[in-house]
């Protein structure tokens, strides 16, 4: 089997819910051996977050926990706590999102872990950092509000809304995985481990790109504009006969192409629409004229016609149609972990030098207790790649 980038890296995953498990799932996809430490009896909170339910858990839990081993440890129990500390000693990476300072009582805080294992990459994920915001609970929904994302999401005359997925958790998980890989590279050259810290608030602010730059440039906070872009037009959804079509025009030549395809050459030559700045200034009139033509035919027809002349556009799909479209483009969006488990979304990174990790289903709670405990008790024993769950049962 071809070596993967993180083959041989052992990750002690003390995290739960979304940001941490998402980060460690990415590491597992890259070849790392991830050992998920869960509470006996209940496990990760998201095991009970349903509906929808799977055969063994919830769809939420299974979305971010494939490719891992699960061990149930009660950190208040001396024997289990010692097993957890041995896991820390044997690991290359630790990921946790406990309340700041709470792992110290178990001897699993950064200082204690670093003493056990000086080369450990200890990764802490929080809502608002380890200083004044350390006591604040870090829920994605609340961070979307406090971090300003909701203020720019939704229609101008309607209440602010959250993004339709816990996007801040996902962004933070990606930041955590990136920080871990940078720290592993640093350890290769120095031999030193370190404490990597990420938080939801900072990950959100760091992802606001041009919207944050607009604030810092003008001193005025951007406001909700629905699907419209503050600096480009048309760059929004336009109503067709049966559905909405997202149209993204990046320059004046593209606008002329759009007008030609719609039979609106007079618009392309109109000074009110000839440049992007003018189109932004006269957006309402522009949209009215474009929709006057688009409304005569279905969105799918317009998508085919406009894409055929190089206009960036796409019908607003639901998730099922989105997956179908990705498959039609050869993007292979899904993977099958086997063993009766539901399909999963594939890691969106391809490498020319190697394949991807063998996909294994999200683990049952404590499924690998015996295997992992035996490994922890015998320094000479190896943890071999896990096979697809239930296939051999």
The gap from C-alpha 382 to its chain's centroid, in whole angstroms, comes to: 31
Q: In this structure, what token pair is assigned to residue 173?
A: 């998980």
Residue 247: C-alpha distances to residues 307, 310, 318 (Å): 10, 11, 17
Which ranges of 191-273 would DSSP assign to H, the alpha helix?
200-206, 209-218, 252-262, 265-269
What distance in Å separates the CA atoms of residue 17 and residue 179, rounded to the nearest whole number? 19
Strands, DSSP E only, in the chain? 10-14, 33-38, 68-72, 93-96, 121-126, 194-199, 235-239, 244-248, 312-315, 334-335, 344-345
3-class DSSP state of 192:
coil
C-alpha gyration radius of the chain: 25
DSSP assignment of 297-365, as one string? S-HHHHHHHHHHTT-EEEE---HHHHHHHHHHTT---EE---TTPPPEEPPS---SS---PPP-PPPPT
Q: How far is the C-alpha of 6 from the C-alpha of 380, rounded, in Å?
A: 21
Q: Is 191 exposed, middle or buried (0-12, 13-18, 19+ CB in 10 A)?
A: exposed
Whether 169 is catalytic: yes
Provide the Cα torsion 186, 188, 192, 196; round to 10°: 40
Q: For residues 355 and 3, what is the distance between their CA atoms, to the nearest angstrom?
A: 8
342 neighbors 62 (Cβ within 8 angstroms): yes
Q: Which of 29, 109, 169, 175 is catalytic?
A: 169
Residues recognised as catalytic: 169
């Amino acid at each position: 089997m071809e070596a993967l980038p993180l083959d041989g890296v052992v990750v002690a995953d003390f995290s739960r819910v979304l940001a941490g498990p998402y980060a460690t799932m990415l590491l597992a996809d890259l070849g790392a051996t991830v050992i998920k430490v869960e509470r006996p009896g209940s496990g990760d909170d998201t095991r009970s977050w349903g509906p929808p339910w799977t055969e063994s858990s919830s769809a939420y839990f299974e979305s971010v926990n494939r490719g891992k081993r699960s061990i149930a440890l009660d950190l208040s129990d001396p024997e289990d706590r010692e097993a957890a500390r041995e896991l820390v000693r044997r690991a290359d990476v630790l990921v946790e999102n406990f309340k700041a300072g709470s792992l110290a009582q178990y001897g699993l805080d950064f200082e204690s872990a670093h003493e056990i294992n000086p080369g450990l990459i200890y990764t802490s994920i929080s809502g608002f950092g380890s200083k004044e915001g350390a006591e604040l609970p870090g829920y994605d929904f609340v961070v979307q509000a406090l971090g300003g994302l909701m203020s720019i999401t939704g229609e101008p005359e309607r209440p602010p809304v959250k993004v339709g997925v816990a996007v801040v958790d996902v962004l933070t998980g990606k930041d955590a995985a990136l920080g871990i890989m940078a720290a592993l590279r640093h350890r290769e050259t120095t031999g030193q481990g370190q404490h990597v810290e990420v938080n939801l608030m900072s990950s959100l602010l760091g992802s606001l790109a041009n919207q944050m730059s607009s604030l810092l440039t003008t001193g005025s906070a951007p406001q909700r504009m629905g699907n419209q872009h503050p600096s480009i037009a048309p760059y929004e959804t336009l109503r067709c006969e049966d559905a909405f079509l997202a149209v993204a025009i990046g320059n004046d030549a593209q606008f002329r192409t759009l007008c030609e395809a719609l039979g609106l050459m007079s618009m392309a030559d109109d000074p009110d629409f000839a440049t992007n700045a003018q189109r932004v200034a006269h957006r309402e009139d522009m949209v009215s004229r474009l929709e006057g033509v688009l409304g005569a035919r279905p969105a799918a027809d317009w998508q085919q016609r406009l894409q055929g002349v190089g206009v960036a556009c796409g019908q607003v799909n639901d998730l099922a149609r989105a997956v179908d479209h990705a498959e039609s483009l050869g993007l292979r969006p899904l993977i099958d972990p086997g063993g009766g488990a539901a399909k999963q979304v594939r890691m969106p990174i391809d490498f020319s030098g190697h394949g991807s990790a063998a996909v294994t289903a999200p683990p049952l709670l404590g499924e690998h207790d015996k295997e992992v405990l035996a490994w922890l008790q015998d320094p000479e024993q190896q943890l071999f790649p896990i096979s697809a769950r239930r296939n051999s049962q």
